[in-house]
């Protein structure tokens, strides 16, 4: 199956977000978020969104005339506007043609990331306006998680000593585990001792104050990036050690976010439309060469097969991953169909069905091992066609939030690591 059959889904849907507007620092609350959930308390029933956003509680005399009430906090009005857009499912005409809420929130987080971090080509602190925008808008979107709870029974003791059974709300397990972890990964600022020069303007005036500095020779594949420069004597040892420490931390954050994202995608349901788009047999997806290698009666080695294929680019690796994944589910589907025949046909074709089922099951397992080795060899591989189908057709809002949040943090951490390495390469030049 080619990637063309999958619905169009991009990591960055646009350069501007429909949910992002200029905000000031004073409008953002510094109160801690209840999403850390240290203990589940009954107070959680008291309007968690207003508590999250740090809204001011307006107290009015009950005898006052309704017309004399002050306007609600502007932040509340902004929140209402945002959620109105979410409820419309990106169909601002209100014609009922919008997408489901899960996809809407996923796109909103992706677009917000593009707005705040999409143009960050330099290793420098995020300005306060963008920082406030990111925190405030993410608070709007993550506040939905306050209502995603599981209900369980517990015992409550009354004042007279009587014990009664009551139903209590507890955070949904996947959100309780993953969301606080993602929030801990979400903030990195750097104090820098270097600067950047635009390509084509690297004169003595642009390199430094009357003195030439070291200029990194970036790969031509990164032609759009500004060139990092360091002082003539290089970075100070303290700055160099700090950058290396930040790089290691960002690398660990990248791995953690990628692991969370992979787990969430694995838990998402496979859309029926994806299964319907699969070819009739796995051989059509893989081609004769790979198919014959997987059908060998000898012990199958996915590592040896990848070595023989001589993959030269990440694009080729992604294309192979899509084809292997499609063939894997094709064989799994055929294996399930062979087991779902009527009893009459099962008796009639018992031997043939058993042999065919075993073959499909074996090929599916080998395809799975090949896909696993391929992703291990190319850890920065983009999402496969199945992943994009899952995101596009997912209707679980909690999974949509966790997947998109982990995906944008994964991209941010990866970019930070790359920018730090560019500076360190300039220092070592």
Query: For 168-182, 276-290, 297-311, 332-346, which range has the lowest pLDDT when averaged over its residues?
Result: 332-346
Residues 41 and 112 in one domain: yes
Q: What residue spans of 143-236 are helical by DSSP H?
A: 173-184, 204-207
Measured CA to CA, the distance from residue 382 to residue 69 in angstroms comes to 53
Q: Is residue 11, in this structure, part of any structural domain at all?
A: yes
Q: Which of 184, 247, 251, 252 is nearest to 405 (CA)?
A: 184
pLDDT of residue 382: 86
CATH number for the domain harbouring residue 163: 1.20.58.2010
Strand order in the sheet with 214-215: 195-197, 227-230, 214-215
Higher pLDDT among residues 331 and 213, named by residue: 331
Inside any domain, residue 141: yes
318 and 409 inside one domain? no
Q: Return the CATH number at 294.
A: 1.20.58.1310
Nearest CA among 140, 114, 119, 141 for reference residue 10? 114
Domain co-membership, 304 together with 386: yes
Identify whether 211 is part of a domain. no
**Domain span including residue 49:** 3-194+235-252+401-428
pTM: 0.68
Is residue 273 within 8 A of residue 393, CB to CB? The reply is yes
pLDDT given for residue 30 in this prediction: 40
Q: pLDDT category, 196, cuts 50, 70, 90?
A: low
The string of pLDDT tens digits covering residues 92-118 is 776 667 788 889 899 999 999 998 888
**Do 99 and 151 share a domain, yes or no?**
yes
Lowest mean pLDDT among 54-58, 174-178, 201-205, 263-267: 54-58
Distance CA 232, CA 235 (A): 9
What's the rounded mean pLDDT across residues 135-160?
A: 87
Sequential DSSP letters for 290-305: HHHHHT-SS---HHHH
- The pLDDT of residue 57 is 39
Give 43's Cβ-side CA count (13 Å radius): 5
Residues 153 and 288 in one domain: no
* Eight-class DSSP state of 44: G
Burial of 327 (0-12, 13-18, 19+ CB in 10 A): buried
Q: What is the mean pLDDT of residues 8-14?
A: 39
Task: Tell whether 46 is covered by a domain.
Answer: yes
> Could you tell me the pLDDT band of residue 193, with boundaries at 50, 70 and 90?
low
Name which of 113-122, 171-180, 400-409 the model is least confident about. 113-122
Domain count, the chain: 2
DSSP string covering 381-411, please?
PPPPHHHHHHHHH---HHHHHHHHHHHHHHH
**151 strand-pairing partners:** 169
Place of tokens 């209707």: 395
Taking a C-beta distance cutoff of 8 angstroms, is the pair 364, 331 a contact?
Answer: yes
Q: In this structure, is residue 77 part of a structural domain? A: yes
Mean pLDDT value across the chain: 74
Residue 322 has pLDDT above 90, yes or no: yes
Same domain flag for 420 and 340:
no
What CA–CA distance (Å, rounded) separates 314 from 349? 44
Residue 213: inside a domain: no
Residues 27 and 133 placed together within one structural domain of the fold: yes
Residues 138 and 273 grouped into a single domain = no
Is residue 139 domain-shared with residue 159, that is, in the same domain? yes
Within this chain, do residues 380 and 343 fall inside the same structural domain, yes or no? yes
């Amino acid at each position: 199956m080619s990637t063309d059959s999958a619905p169009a889904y991009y990591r960055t849907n646009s350069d501007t977000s429909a949910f992002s507007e200029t905000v000031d620092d004073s409008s953002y609350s510094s109160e801690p978020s209840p999403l850390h959930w240290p203990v589940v308390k009954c107070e959680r029933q008291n309007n968690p969104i207003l508590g999250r956003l740090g809204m001011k509680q307006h107290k009015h005399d009950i005898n006052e005339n309704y017309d004399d009430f002050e306007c609600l906090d502007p932040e509340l009005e902004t929140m209402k506007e945002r959620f109105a857009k979410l409820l419309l499912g990106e169909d601002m005409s209100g014609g009922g043609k919008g997408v489901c809420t899960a996809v809407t929130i996923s796109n909103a987080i992706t677009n917000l990331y593009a707005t705040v971090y999409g143009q960050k080509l330099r290793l420098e602190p995020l300005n306060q306006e963008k920082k406030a925008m990111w925190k405030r808008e993410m608070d709007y979107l993550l506040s939905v998680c306050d209502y995603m709870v599981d209900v369980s029974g517990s015992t409550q003791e009354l004042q007279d000593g009587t014990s009664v059974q009551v139903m209590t709300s507890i955070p949904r397990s996947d959100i309780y585990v993953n969301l606080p972890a993602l929030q801990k990964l979400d903030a990195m600022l750097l104090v820098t001792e270097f600067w950047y020069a635009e390509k084509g303007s690297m004169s003595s005036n642009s390199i430094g104050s009357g003195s030439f500095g070291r200029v990194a020779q970036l790969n031509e594949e990164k032609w759009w990036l500004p060139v990092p420069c360091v002082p003539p004597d290089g970075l100070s040892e303290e700055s160099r050690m700090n950058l290396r420490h930040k790089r290691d931390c960002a690398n660990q954050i990248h791995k953690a976010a990628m692991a969370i994202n992979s787990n969430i995608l694995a838990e998402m349901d496979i859309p029926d439309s994806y299964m319907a788009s699969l070819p009739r047999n796995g051989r059509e997806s893989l081609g004769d060469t790979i198919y014959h290698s997987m059908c060998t009666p000898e012990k199958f080695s996915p590592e040896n097969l990848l070595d023989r294929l001589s993959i030269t680019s990440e694009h080729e690796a992604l294309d192979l991953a899509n084809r292997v994944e499609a063939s894997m589910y094709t064989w799994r589907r055929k294996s399930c169909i062979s087991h779902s025949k009527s009893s009459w046909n099962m008796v009639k074709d018992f031997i043939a069905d058993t042999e065919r089922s075993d073959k499909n099951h074996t090929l599916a397992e080998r395809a799975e091992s090949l896909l696993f080795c391929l992703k291990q060899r190319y850890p920065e591989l983009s999402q496969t066609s199945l992943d994009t189908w899952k995101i596009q057709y997912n209707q679980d809002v909690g999974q949509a939030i966790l997947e998109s949040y982990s995906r944008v943090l994964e991209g941010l951490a990866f970019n930070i690591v790359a920018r730090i390495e560019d500076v360190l390469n300039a220092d070592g030049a």
